[in-house]
Amino acid sequence: MDLILCHTTADFDALGAAVGLTCLLPGSKIVLTGGAHPPVRDFLALRRDEYALIERRSVNPEKIRSLTVVDTQQRDRLGKAAEWLDLPQLDNITVYDHHLGQVSDIPATQSHIAPVGATTTLIVEQLQQQQISLTPAQATAMALGIHVDTGSLTYDQSTPRDALALAWLMQQGASLAVISNYREPGLSPQLQRLLKEALEQLEYLCFRGYTIAWVTLKTEVFVPGLSSLASQLMELTEIDALLLAGEYPLSKDESRLTIIGRSQIPSVHLDQLFHTFGGGGHSQASSLNLRGVNTQNILQQLLDGIKTSIPHPPTARDLMSSPVRTIRPETTIGEAQRILLRYGHSGLSVVDSQGQLVGIISRRDLDIAFHHGFSHAPVKGYMTINLKTITPDTTLPQIESLMVTYDIGRLPVLENGQLVGIVTRTDVLRELHQAEGKSRGEGQPRLEHSVQLPSLEQLRDRLTPQLWQLLTTASQAAEQRGWHLYLVGGAVRDLLLAEAASGTLFITDIDLVVDGFHQAADVGAGVELAKALQEIYPAARLEIHGAFQTAALLWHKDPKLDSLWVDIATARTEFYPYPAANPEVEASSIRQDLYRRDFTINALALRLTSPRAGELLDFFGGLLDLQAKQIRVLHANSFIEDPTRIYRGVRFAVRFGFDIESRTEEYIRYAINSGVYDRTAQTNTKTPALQTRLKAELKHILEAAYWELALKLLDDLGALQCIHPTLKLDPELLRQLRLLERCWRRFDAQKKLILWQMRLEVLIAHLAPQYRHKVAKNLQLPEDSIERSHKLAAAKSEVRDFLVISKQPSQIVQVLRKYDVEMLILIAISSSRIIRRQIWHYLTVLSHIQPMLNGNDLKKLGYKPSPRFRQMLDDILAATLDGVVHNQEEAEDFLAKHYPV
């Protein structure tokens, strides 16, 4: 166990440095050795599950391998955890700090101490050197550490290194809204006096879940810094919007009015409201200056404008995950842990035999119980029973308040006493993040070349009318049933990548996901929707397949929809029982459905149904990765569970001209070098990800124009080992594949050969003969392909030996016509130039020469049909090939001489 220790009463710099170190040291855990500053506590109350935090009491000291101490060099600042510094089994102790001139009493094996404004900056620089990417949550925690310890780069100890680190963290997606909520700017003595006055006079209004406040401060002269005072008021009072009016006299009869506006409400755009009165600024921060006006009148107009801008807030029904994974009170600690591992949850709801909610148990509770040896104990002894619950109509602000006030990570949603869903910290953070993006004008995220995600209205112009109509019809059918419908995966990705000037976009392969459990839809929702659509589009063929009733609508050369393929499924999650297996799937939420996908750029969803039609769901940073032109996997075990994702990642990288993100490449190489694929193939009879699904990915790659670049990248990654451990793309194999390209163009004018399959056969043929047949069968190639792989060695030997001694064309034809074109091409491209030329000559010339006579001619000459006909015609053909017979008359003479009537 590798631990990262924060000092007691941890501040944001200690937390930010620790979070960054979990990225540098994968698998390490953070221990808050003795509490945290109040702002840090509030921050973690909502975001604890985003970081690798564990309780000090759940640590088994005997399993500690290394310790890393951040933001201190004194062991007495580590509380009781300081005892771990003396453990004999430690491999190393590392210290990171930015406080110079201190005498350390920590027995460090490594120290990283430098004159920067924040310890977090030192971690950022190492992350940059190793090209490690962060999640927005990680970047936000680290940016807070630098902001708070440098006073947002205003303190004397701030350095250019801190500024560069902050800039990089912003590129990684650090949330400015969250940072502004938790940093602590100071106020001048004059502003501090006004702050006290403002707090006493502040008036409040609660409206649709948001708190709006306003106050008027009258002073004798102009007071600078009212904007800082407004920010401080926002932090101290936890209000959502503020109007701070400052009024002072210019003369006996005239006064000057300054109004500072602040808002954290996504839909409120203060710049537009203030513009009406000649002011301006940003959507969340604006100001105006007026003379000789009625202060209360202006404030009332601005208040009315803010209220008009606030929509009804999202409710628990919009946020919750459903169905809820539940267990019984009698379930053991060990079994509950296995369920959490299988589904990736951070907690489980406990229900009795009547389905009534009786408790909740978190991962932390399970970890502590397991640590103390109670894996066989029932969860009822460890679950939380004094529960806070909400209804489907509970608003987002109310949910957020409950979570922060009571440090609750998940809130059960009850309707008529029944558990219908659960809202987690992640659900709240997702909604807050999306609201934050909209408040910054990022409702339609901007990518390179000013490409934007189209709004729902713009989609109408971006897609062909018939495709837009199909999506509209599908969304209306889903809404009628009370379901949500999402366009997911590649179609959303392609919409983002498409150039705005390219005209309408017709997508031939569409994935739709129904998330209907909020209205008690069952796992057959996707099928029901597909059947409803087929009634409207009778030309489509309906296919229903899979254990979870997924459905597909297929059109074939339709006048309007061409050969469109639409997959419709109910949102689901998946679990791999062993590496390379087919996943086991269960109905779940849209978030879990997206999490089971391969890469962030394919884990995007666009909501098609009201009331939030056009909303983009991006839980995993897919937009940032599209902008960075990189392929990033969703989770570390992805390639171990499914090796076909390696091939998909390479295909996307080459197709779009993207890079494979460095950590993702590390995961690929680790999975390949671990030997897990060989082990799972030896212990399991069915490994679809190394068989049929691998063949499907190979087909996509080998039939594409970029096949050569893709194979080179696969070879560089070592991924051709998934086909066979000995397969390498050496110069000889590459030469053979290029020769195949020439053969295809020269000998297959009618395009009868299946080119991608021939390329795969060339790859298999490059293996040692004893492996070929097994690999071809493993990939479940057609029988003729498997037969060729089995007989190739013998056929090549026979052809080579015979052609070396053959002088007459008829002899060449006699041996080569026994083989199909595919076999001859495989032999030719792997043989010497002399042999290859003879096979080329056969395929282009000799194979097209016909005998001068046929069966009807023989009958006319008086021969009675008999088995001899075949031999007679073969002899005439041989004579023709060898130049003995040149025309029909000579053929008849030849026949009369050798086969008299």
- Does residue 761 have a pLDDT over 90? yes
> Cα(first)–Cα(last) distance of the chain, in Å?
95
Residue 445 is predicted with a pLDDT of 41
| DSSP per-residue string spanning 117-184 | S-HHHHHHHHHHHTT----HHHHHHHHHHHHHHHTTTTSTT--HHHHHHHHHHHHTT--HHHHHHH--
Residue 93 is predicted with a pLDDT of 96
Q: What share of the chain is helix, strand, coil (3-state, %, to 5)?
A: 50, 20, 35
The arithmetic mean of pLDDT across residues 228-238, rounded, is 82
Average pLDDT, the chain: 86
Residue 600 is predicted with a pLDDT of 93
- φ and ψ of 357, to 5 deg: -70, 125
Output the CA angle 323-329-330, nearest 5 degrees. 120
Q: How many helices (H) and strands (E) in the chain?
A: 37, 28
| Dist CA 363 CA 379 (whole Å) | 12
Which tokens is 197 given? 């006055």
User: Cβ(456)–Cβ(589) under 8 Å?
Assistant: no
- Does residue 444 have a pLDDT over 50? no
- Does residue 806 have a pLDDT over 80? no
Dmax (CA) for the chain in angstroms is 139
User: In the block, which residue shows the tokens 């659900």?
Assistant: 427
Average the pLDDT over each of 47-51, 230-234, 469-473, 477-481 and give the range with the smallest value: 230-234
411-414: long-range contacts, CB 8 A cutoff, minimum separation 24: 411/316, 412/324, 412/349, 412/357, 412/360, 412/387, 413/316, 413/317, 413/320, 413/322, 413/389, 414/357, 414/389, 414/390
What are the tens digits of pLDDT across the range 280-315?
Answer: 766 777 888 898 899 999 999 999 999 998 877 788
Q: Give percent above pLDDT 70 in the chain.
A: 91
Integer CA distances (angstroms), 781 to 391, 710, 890, in order = 55, 21, 48
Residue 448 is predicted with a pLDDT of 38
Residue 549 is predicted with a pLDDT of 63
Which tokens is 815 given? 């041996």
User: Cβ(242)–Cβ(271) under 8 Å?
Assistant: no
What are the tens digits of pLDDT across the range 379-420?
Answer: 999 998 888 999 988 988 889 889 988 888 889 999 888 888
User: Cβ(77)–Cβ(6) under 8 Å?
Assistant: no
Q: Give percent above pLDDT 90 in the chain.
A: 43
Residue 737 is predicted with a pLDDT of 94
- Does residue 242 have a pLDDT over 50? yes
Which residues make Cβ contacts (< 8 Å) with residue 430, sequence separation at least 6? Answer: 591, 619
Residue 682 is predicted with a pLDDT of 78
- Does residue 593 have a pLDDT over 50? yes
Residue 27 is predicted with a pLDDT of 92
User: In the block, which residue shows the tokens 């498997």?
Assistant: 786
The arithmetic mean of pLDDT across residues 598-617, rounded, is 87
Average the pLDDT over each of 539-548, 558-567, 660-669 and give the range with the smallest value: 539-548
User: Cβ(710)–Cβ(650) under 8 Å?
Assistant: yes
Output the CA angle 201-203-209, nearest 5 degrees. 150
How sure is the predictor about 648, in pLDDT bands with cuts at 50, 70 and 90? very high
How sure is the predictor about 450, in pLDDT bands with cuts at 50, 70 and 90? very low
- Does residue 452 have a pLDDT over 60? no
| Dist CA 738 CA 735 (whole Å) | 5
What are the tens digits of pLDDT across the range 871-894?
Answer: 888 888 888 888 888 888 888 888
How sure is the predictor about 679, in pLDDT bands with cuts at 50, 70 and 90? confident
What are the tens digits of pLDDT across the range 683-731?
Answer: 777 777 678 889 999 999 999 999 999 999 999 999 999 999 999 999 9
- Does residue 225 have a pLDDT over 80? no
| Dist CA 75 CA 83 (whole Å) | 9
